[in-house]
Amino acid sequence: MKTYSNQIEEATKLEANRITGRQACTVLDSVVAFHHCEVAGIELPTKHIMRILITGGAGFLGSHLSERLIDAGHEVICLDNFFTGRRSNILHLLNNPRFELMRHDVIDPFKLEVDQIYNLACPASPPHYQFNPIKTTKTSVMGAINCLGLAKRVKARVFQASTSEVYGDPEVHPQSEEYWGHVNPIGRRSCYDEGKRCAETLFFDYHRENGVDIRVIRIFNTYGPRMLPDDGRVVSNFIVQALKGEDLTVYGDGKQTRSFCFVDDLIEGFIRFMNQEETVGPMNLGNPGEFTMLELAEKVLAQVGGKSKIVHRDLPADDPKQRRPDISLAKRVLNWEPQVPLDAGLTKTIAYFRKSLEA
């Protein structure tokens, strides 16, 4: 643990190096905070306390990330328009003095003094992002421009939550970061896929042209507590259907594959990636275990029990046939790999949905 005098020395050094006003101020704030913690005998897990903006912070991933960063001693500003986010996801943080909530749309510019930005704002489930496809593209593109503009102004590091959807219906398997993808530019999924691809383009152009400090991650299917029960993604659909005793709706023949990462593993990867200096990305994060949708349905039925059966429904257009991340880069740079196997993650997620359906 850093001592009070170490912190003073570090703050003075940073000021001498003309670090941005906000960063110097953060270090000075942290000197005081570290001093209080030292007096109280509390060990802080982080080196510097930062002010961190999370767009989409009231959503599934954003709320878990907010919680982790607050627990590490940081200040979090959660910006959300509550399209798919919920107050209940962040209710337990609302009274925390280090947590601030801003109802705002990323499409409209915002001015804040922050050290880091995680850009997560965008609906992620196919029914939600297809509900208003033009708005989805605007959210990805304008949201990226607004986050990058802010990062440029205040010299903050900015993180983009990109997606395995940039690989489209992949012809290369598993998908590594070098693969450019196989994406339909005019289909039902394009508002999301192309919006995210354009956001990646913007991130790398701001980096090359303006020296913005970026980090771009490509997230593969992630599941866990706080997913919306009706958001249409396969894990939440199957679990909620099984818990209600309804039939599980497998789209197509159910032989298409996905790789499912438990949320805690992903958030650990986010934080490690954001705070390393070796690469700006893009970097895949996900669980390389690969399952067909029929296997997933059977796993859910085995845990929930009951009288539900598997029924088949039409396969949506452009539904990727296979998906599995190559995570060699994350393993090497972050010393990261998922720790929670699918069965264990499903147990936790089923317990969450069981409780929320009973409430």
Residues that bind ligand UDP (CB under 6 A): 125-126, 221, 233-234, 237, 249-251, 256, 258, 293, 316, 319
Query: Under a CB-based contact definition with an 8 Å cutoff, are residues 246 and 303 in contact?
Result: no
192 as an active site residue: the answer is yes
Beta strand ranges found along the chain (DSSP E): 51-55, 75-80, 99-103, 116-119, 157-163, 214-219, 222-223, 248-251, 257-258, 261-262, 283-285, 291-292, 310-313
The amino acid occupying position 55 is: T
- Residue 110's CB is within 10 A of a number of other CB atoms, namely 16
According to DSSP, the residues that pair with 103 across neighbouring strands are 80
Residue 48 or 258 with smaller CB distance to ligand UDP: 258
- Residue 8's CB is within 10 A of a number of other CB atoms, namely 15
- Binding map of ligand NAD across residues 203-222, x = CB under 6 A, - = no contact: ----------------x-xx
Query: Under a CB-based contact definition with an 8 Å cutoff, are residues 134 and 191 in contact?
Result: yes
Residue 249 or 356 with smaller CB distance to ligand UDP: 249
Total residues contacting ligand NAD (rule CB under 6 A)?
Answer: 27
To the nearest whole angstrom, how small is the minimum distance from the Cβ of residue 235 to ligand NAD? 9
Peptide bond into 174 cis (omega under 30): yes
Residue 12 or 187 with smaller CB distance to ligand NAD: 187
- Whole-angstrom Cα distance, residue 222 to residue 219? 8
Residue 7 or 237 with smaller CB distance to ligand UDP: 237
- Whole-angstrom Cα distance, residue 11 to residue 27? 6
The amino acid occupying position 239 is: I
To the nearest whole angstrom, how small is the minimum distance from the Cβ of residue 70 to ligand NAD? 17
The residue range among 20-28, 75-83, 92-100, 351-359 that interacts with ligand NAD, by the rule CB under 6 A, is 75-83
DSSP conformational letter for 253:
T
Question: Which among 118, 167, 192, 223 is annotated as catalytic?
Answer: 192
Any contact of residue 235 with ligand NAD (CB under 6 A)? no
- What, of ligand UDP, ligand NAD, none, does residue 139 touch, CB below 5 to 8 Å by kind? ligand NAD
- What, of ligand NAD, ligand UDP, none, does residue 58 touch, CB below 5 to 8 Å by kind? ligand NAD
Q: What does each C-alpha distance from 349 to 42, 263, 313, 342, 345 come to in angstroms?
A: 32, 10, 24, 10, 6
Residue 13 or 321 with smaller CB distance to ligand NAD: 321
Residue 139 or 349 with smaller CB distance to ligand NAD: 139
- Whole-angstrom Cα distance, residue 287 to residue 14? 39
- What, of ligand UDP, ligand NAD, none, does residue 250 touch, CB below 5 to 8 Å by kind? ligand UDP
In the region spanning residues 251 to 290, those forming contacts with ligand NAD, defined by CB under 6 A, are none
To the nearest whole angstrom, how small is the minimum distance from the Cβ of residue 270 to ligand NAD? 10
To the nearest whole angstrom, how small is the minimum distance from the Cβ of residue 17 to ligand NAD? 34
170-176's contacts with Cβ under 8 Å and 24+ in sequence apart are 170/320, 170/322, 170/323, 173/322, 173/324, 174/288, 174/290, 174/324, 174/325, 174/326, 175/284, 175/323, 175/324, 175/325, 175/326, 176/284, 176/326, 176/328, 176/329
- Binding map of ligand NAD across residues 166-205, x = CB under 6 A, - = no contact: ----------------------------------------
Judged by CB under 6 A, the residue of 120, 234, 280, 329 near ligand NAD is: 120
Name the site residues for ligand NAD (rule: CB under 6 A).
55-56, 58-62, 80-85, 105-107, 120-124, 139, 161, 163, 219, 221-222
Enzyme catalytic residues? 192
